[in-house]
Chains A and B, each alone.
Chain A
Amino acid sequence: DVKVTQSSRYLVKRTGEKVFLECVQDMDHENMFWYRQDPGLGLRLIYFSYDVKMKEKGDIPEGYSVSREKKERFSLILESASTNQTSMYLCASSRSGARGDEQFFGPGTRLTVL
């Protein structure tokens, strides 16, 4: 079974802090994704990566950056956290370099920025 893990289930940070959300998958997947989920807005893609050191912007990249130094790990970085980044963050991975493959999700990190 594919396993996607995220470093924290719950996180509370203060405005202006630098925040790292880590995601690790154990199935040698090429593609990895970061989404945020907000009431009334559904899931929205922040960034994705289709290979090590490669990244592409999703729908809402502003205020975020990502890092993919190793194939199994995809980090989401909030350079200076703001209250409007309070959200549920979900990481996902999929198998091949081709688009359209099945995505598997981690358990999510609920981030609160005070």
Chain B
Amino acid sequence: EVQLVQSGAEVKKPGESLKISCKGSGYSFTSYWIGWVRQMPGKGLEWMGIIYPGDSDTRYSPSFQGQVTISADKSISTAYLQWSSLKASDTAMYYCARRRGDLGAFDIWGQGTMVTVSS
């Protein structure tokens, strides 16, 4: 079965760092782009960035460039989203999703990781 499994919910304080993960299985992880999508409480979907695990080529939304870092470890079929200094406004659900081949559609989604930043 093709799936993406994300790490569990996190509760952090402002200023702390965080790295969440997304592990792919059931397909060739290095052959598909993995994107990250933010959903703030009660709000819509926002595309953050995308990485090609085969060569770590990474693109960011201008809104998130410099705010987060996307990386991947192809040896363990895992993509990451990290923050160096969290803010309360980073409180959101974060989804990873696989981009299908040459299409721009995200066909497989992780279950989401809820990040709560509160003092």
* A and B from one complex: no
A binding-site residues for B, Cβ under 8 Å: none
Chain B residues with CB under 8 Å of chain A are: none
